[in-house]
Chain A
């Protein structure tokens, strides 16, 4: 069952690059809040 699927070197670099991750932190927060507030919340 185990496969060779792996993250690329570039992917790993971006995962740990703090400046980019600070940007992703903002984007993810906005994305989650938008999804939550667009959902019914009725």
Chain B
């Protein structure tokens, strides 16, 4: 009987656990260790942050699902990983008691998502700073409360300054911030308060609509349309001001400090700000059989796990080398250890990085979206099943071959809501396969806005909750 341990129960880890449970759960021991006992459907926190969805509608308890799927659930935070053959285990701390827990494994999936690095920008974040975030459930609830308090001020006639975007020169997840800004706009229009808010998009993207993936390009009526023009139209239509090519360096009460591509230093005043922090890997300690700390061999400096990618290529070379992107997500030193979702280290950025004259690197990190994380979670689970049953892996899928669909909601009403539907193929450009300047399949890639997108987003919330609860037919719903 093989022992498989999965760290983290998010898009990547939970997907992996469901496939592992279904394929192997009856004969082998599958264990999930997670510091939270619920699954969180993060995309709907955008609606939570404007008070349009209740927190409990975005989560469900994991244990009942795992009980049905023959997966053991351990409610604990992983801390240490001992990967050397003969004595492979994860050490964790049980939530509630603080007791140390040891989980032995034959195969390990590391999928704990990101550490929200608010400390990377002085003054950022809801705990020790002055800005908000929608990247965790308590943060999204706090954001909602602060946003609704802002609305009360506006109702009394006050005009407020709102800034939404990225809070670090190397932040990612621009898509979530974009959704939030347009949902704030829509909500204020509905409340009759839009004229009381000055809304600014502040981001580290090289161009508007870049989203950390070098933008989206499609062919329409014979000419190439770029997400830059599209998002400009959205913002102009909504009266949202924008400032890109900007890295936030510090936040004080009511004041954001930034630098831009030109090296100019400036400040922006705010009454309400929702800025996405930089992400780091979870700070696990990796220890070899001699008791030595081998963390620096297992992870990159930001703490993301090094897998089967080609690391260290300069951007111009990486942009021409699709095979540098990992495809099995196995760690090179330990082929029985995999990293999935945000936890794996990408070989470099997808968007063009920029260093200004003050030596500040302004470069969106590559997003590993929910779909990408789910696809990797499934792939890793299938490969572990392969290894256990046949001794070799048969599955591989680099981000240069993955399709991603993303519905950026702009108001949740099914009558007058709206959404941008984005399809990208592949997520990371492959300039060898697709011989155009963007390295993408311009026919399959898609960009469209309309009420139908709002219907899609509503449908996705419910179908994904169904899938993640492993209800009948869940495997038919693609990640």
Q: Are A32 and B405 in contact, CB atoms less than 8 angstroms apart?
A: yes
Smallest beta-carbon distance B327→chain A, Å: 9
How many residues from B make CB contacts under 8 Å with A? 39
Q: Are A21 and B451 in contact, CB atoms less than 8 angstroms apart?
A: yes
Determine if B438 is an interface residue (Cβ-Cβ < 8 Å).
no
Give the contact stretch, choosing among B55-63, B165-173, B233-241. B233-241
Smallest beta-carbon distance A18→chain B, Å: 7
* CB-defined contacts of A32 to chain B, threshold 8 Å: 405, 421, 423
Smallest beta-carbon distance A34→chain B, Å: 8
Q: Which of B412-470 contact A (CB under 8 A)?
A: 416, 418, 421, 423, 425-426, 444, 446, 448-453, 455-456
Q: Are B395 and A42 in contact, CB atoms less than 8 angstroms apart?
A: yes
Smallest beta-carbon distance B449→chain A, Å: 6
Q: Are A2 and B241 in contact, CB atoms less than 8 angstroms apart?
A: yes
Q: How large is the interface on A (under 10, 10 to 19, 20 to 34, 35 or more residues)?
A: 20 to 34
Known contacts: A21-B450, A21-B452, A25-B456. The answer to whether A5 contacts B405 by CB under 8 A is no
Contact mask A15-42 → B, CB, 8 Å, 1/0?
1101011101100110111011111111
Q: Which of B166-195 contact A (CB under 8 A)?
A: none
State A32–B407 Cα separation when bound (angstroms): 11
Give the contact stretch, choosing among B119-127, B301-309, B338-346, B396-404. B396-404
Q: Would you call the interface of chain A mostly helix, strand, loop, or mixed? A: helix
Q: Are B425 and A35 in contact, CB atoms less than 8 angstroms apart?
A: yes
Known contacts: A21-B450, A35-B403. The answer to whether A3 contacts B425 by CB under 8 A is no
* CB-defined contacts of A33 to chain B, threshold 8 Å: 478
Q: Are A35 and B423 in contact, CB atoms less than 8 angstroms apart?
A: yes
Question: Which residue in chain A gives the minimum CB-CB distance to B245?
Answer: A1
State A38–B443 Cα separation when bound (angstroms): 13
Q: Would you call the interface of chain B mostly helix, strand, loop, or mixed? A: mixed
State A39–B402 Cα separation when bound (angstroms): 6
Q: Are B236 and A36 in contact, CB atoms less than 8 angstroms apart?
A: no
Determine if B315 is an interface residue (Cβ-Cβ < 8 Å).
no
Smallest beta-carbon distance A31→chain B, Å: 6
Question: Which residue in chain A gives the minimum CB-CB distance to B450?
Answer: A15
Determine if B265 is an interface residue (Cβ-Cβ < 8 Å).
no
Q: Are A6 and B396 in contact, CB atoms less than 8 angstroms apart?
A: no
Determine if B244 is an interface residue (Cβ-Cβ < 8 Å).
yes
Determine if B284 is an interface residue (Cβ-Cβ < 8 Å).
no
* CB-defined contacts of B245 to chain A, threshold 8 Å: 1
State A39–B395 Cα separation when bound (angstroms): 13
Q: Are B236 and A5 in contact, CB atoms less than 8 angstroms apart?
A: yes
State A25–B379 Cα separation when bound (angstroms): 29
Q: Are B397 and A42 in contact, CB atoms less than 8 angstroms apart?
A: yes
Determine if B229 is an interface residue (Cβ-Cβ < 8 Å).
yes
Q: Are B449 and A15 in contact, CB atoms less than 8 angstroms apart?
A: yes
State A14–B162 Cα separation when bound (angstroms): 30
Question: Which residue in chain A gives the minimum CB-CB distance to B236?
Answer: A6
Q: Are B244 and A1 in contact, CB atoms less than 8 angstroms apart?
A: yes
Q: Are A36 and B233 in contact, CB atoms less than 8 angstroms apart?
A: no
Smallest beta-carbon distance B16→chain A, Å: 15
Q: Are A25 and B232 in contact, CB atoms less than 8 angstroms apart?
A: no
Binding site for B on A (CB under 8 A): 1-7, 12, 14-16, 18, 20-22, 24-25, 28-29, 31-33, 35-42
A-B contact list, 11 entries, CB within 8 Å:
A1-B242, A5-B229, A7-B449, A12-B237, A16-B416, A16-B450, A28-B448, A32-B421, A35-B425, A39-B401, A41-B397
